[in-house]
Amino acid sequence: MPFDIERCARPNILALEPYRCARDDYKDDGTNILLDANENAYGPGLALSRDGKLANGHHGSDIEIDLLGLNRYPDPHQHELKQMLCNLRNTHTHTKKDITPENLFVGVGSDEAIDALLRAFCTPGKDKILTCPPTYGMYSVSAQVNDVEVVKVPLDVEHGFNAQPDEINARLSEDPSIKLVYLCSPGNPTANLVRKEHVRAVLEHPTWNGVVVLDEAYIDFAPEDSSLAEWVAEWPNLVVMQTLSKAFGLAGIRLGAAFTSPQIARLLNSLKAPYNISNPTSQLAIQALQPQNLKVMRQHLEQIIRQRDRLLSEMPKVHGVGRFLGGRESNFLLVQMLDTDKKPSNEVALQVYERLAETRGVVVRFRGKEMGCFGCLRVTVGTEEEVARFLTELKTVLEDVHAGRVSTASTATEEKKEKAANGVIA
């Protein structure tokens, strides 16, 4: 048989590693506390009745999701959903103008927008994108899929993981083949906002012909009016990506949005699959944006922020916990694990990560191999009960690690541990 996948498939695709996360090796049996993927521990931002149905805030009855129309293709334009997203972000904080559905692309999570932008603006094997590590891994993965080179301008790790617009602009001046700049705000895994003036500095580059992409997946955990989504009305080459996966607690429906100029939105809407958003997804998203459900979402936000403050207060009291790095504007924290000499340690952080998952049923993320994150774990903010258990288990595990006590419950191989700790993307 002449078929040889190594000679048939594209080399850049053959080189890809499948997506991995901690849960590939630490399965959820219903008892684990999952503080690894920055999900909303309080659940969907929906006014649910006890039987799981959507409660109608006006009449006390239930709103049914229409499943009878599943034999029909969904709306390819999603005008109603786009209008509601515009209503949410038209705060007039950053502009007096309104954004409209013509400023919107909606996709399967933010990941579809990340990929669509690459396909719209970057010629494979010729053009490049610029990222600012440490950052979300999907930018580089999507670039590799599209055979696009990645130029890296690291965040200023010595000063709170701030973006470095002067360094970014210098690279843009040197290399006109860079078509996209991806900035994550709040950053993942850094949890801090990109300053508005830093975004403006790149947008004001005098000669660069490219697009600034601001990823605001975690923006609702930041102070009110932090989002720059409506600012796309002022800048023709700004894209602001958002998702319902995080603050809205709807990771399972896979709904993301890209706010941008009508010209760019038209490109993205032209190249997408015709019916990329399913009917159940759009119906749930529209419900989530109704006033009674936005109220629930904001109540969950308040609870998460309280527990975030609790972690900030209580974790430093645990012997072996070091400094929090980055910011406080998300639903997770980046924190150092210390050795017995009180120095950040990747060995300690990796052991804590493994033992928490394997022997204590608490799954976090090891981020110690990312730039500026030496010795760090990324911990998602859980519920009040989850945070209490995490703090208790962390204290016990750190005591065991520092005392050199060997875990007898460890079952993962070294290879599995390494892959789980260093998941490709999340």
User: What would the two tokens of residue 419 be?
Assistant: 């892959």
- Pair type for strands 256-259 and 211-215: unpaired
Q: For residues 387 and 333, is the Cβ–Cβ distance under 8 A?
A: no
Domain boundary among 263, 293, 323: 293
- What is the amino acid identity at position 345? S
Whether residues 95 and 220 share a domain: the answer is yes
Whether residues 180 and 302 share a domain: the answer is no
Instruction: Name residue, tokens 């403050």.
Output: 309
Q: For residues 31 and 361, is the Cβ–Cβ distance under 8 A?
A: yes
- What DSSP character marks residue 172? H
Q: Tell me, what's the pLDDT at 20?
A: 67
Whether residues 288 and 143 share a domain: the answer is yes
DSSP track, 175-189: -TTEEEEEEESS-TT
Q: Tell me, what's the pLDDT at 18?
A: 72
Half-sphere exposure of 325 (CA within 13 A, CB side): 29
Whether residues 348 and 213 share a domain: the answer is no
Ramachandran quadrant class, 375 (left: phi over 0; alpha: psi -120 to 50; beta: rest):
left
Q: For residues 344 and 325, is the Cβ–Cβ distance under 8 A?
A: no
Q: Tell me, what's the pLDDT at 32?
A: 87
Helix axes 384-403, 291-314, angle to 10 degrees: 30
CA 389 to each of CA 34, 42, 208, 331, 401: distance values in angstroms, whole numbers, following the listed order: 12, 16, 51, 17, 18
Whether residues 30 and 80 share a domain: the answer is no
Q: What is the pTM of this model?
A: 0.91
Q: Tell me, what's the pLDDT at 59?
A: 43
Domain boundary among 269, 293, 317: 293
Whether residues 143 and 34 share a domain: the answer is no
- What is the amino acid identity at position 315? M
- Provide φ and ψ at 67, rounded to 5°: -100, -5
Q: Tell me, what's the pLDDT at 277?
A: 96
Q: Tell me, what's the pLDDT at 362?
A: 96
For the chain, the domain total comes to 2
Domain-located, residue 258:
yes
- Provide φ and ψ at 145, rounded to 5°: -60, -40
Domain-located, residue 426:
no
Domain boundary among 261, 278, 293: 293
Whether residues 105 and 27 share a domain: the answer is no
- What is the amino acid identity at position 190? T
Cα 56 to Cα 75: distance, rounded to the nearest angstrom: 24
- What DSSP character marks residue 338? B
Q: Taking Cα atoms as reference points, which of 137, 186, 145, 127 lies closest to residue 162?
A: 186
Cα 208 to Cα 121: distance, rounded to the nearest angstrom: 14
Q: Tell me, what's the pLDDT at 383?
A: 97
191 Cβ partners below 8 Å, 6+ apart?
Answer: 218, 326, 327, 328, 329, 330, 332, 333, 334
Domain-located, residue 86:
yes
Helix axes 262-271, 109-121, angle to 10 degrees: 100
Q: Tell me, what's the pLDDT at 252?
A: 94
User: What would the two tokens of residue 200 be?
Assistant: 């403006």
Whether residues 149 and 137 share a domain: the answer is yes
Domain-located, residue 96:
yes
Supply the CATH number for residue 16's domain. 3.90.1150.10
pLDDT along the chain (426 residues), means of 10: 82 79 64 90 83 51 68 93 98 97 97 96 97 96 96 95 98 98 98 97 97 98 97 98 97 96 96 94 95 96 98 98 96 97 97 95 95 97 97 97 72 51 57
Instruction: Name residue, tokens 């209008």.
Output: 83
Q: Taking Cα atoms as reference points, which of 57, 26, 94 lies closest to residue 353?
A: 26
Whether residues 358 and 264 share a domain: the answer is no
Q: Tell me, what's the pLDDT at 27?
A: 64
Whether residues 83 and 174 share a domain: the answer is yes
How do residues 32-73 score in pLDDT, each as one tens digit?
899 999 999 999 999 876 555 555 544 444 556 777 788 889
Whether residues 120 and 262 share a domain: the answer is yes
Supply the CATH number for residue 211's domain. 3.40.640.10
Average pLDDT over the chain, rounded to an integer: 91
Helix axes 109-121, 138-145, angle to 10 degrees: 50
For the chain, helix, strand, coil in percent to 5 are 40, 15, 45
Domain-located, residue 22:
yes
Q: By residue range, what is the domain housing residue 404?
A: 5-47+294-421
Q: How far apart are the first and last CA of the chain?
A: 39
Domain-located, residue 127:
yes
Domain-located, residue 282:
yes
Whether residues 72 and 200 share a domain: the answer is yes
Domain-located, residue 264:
yes
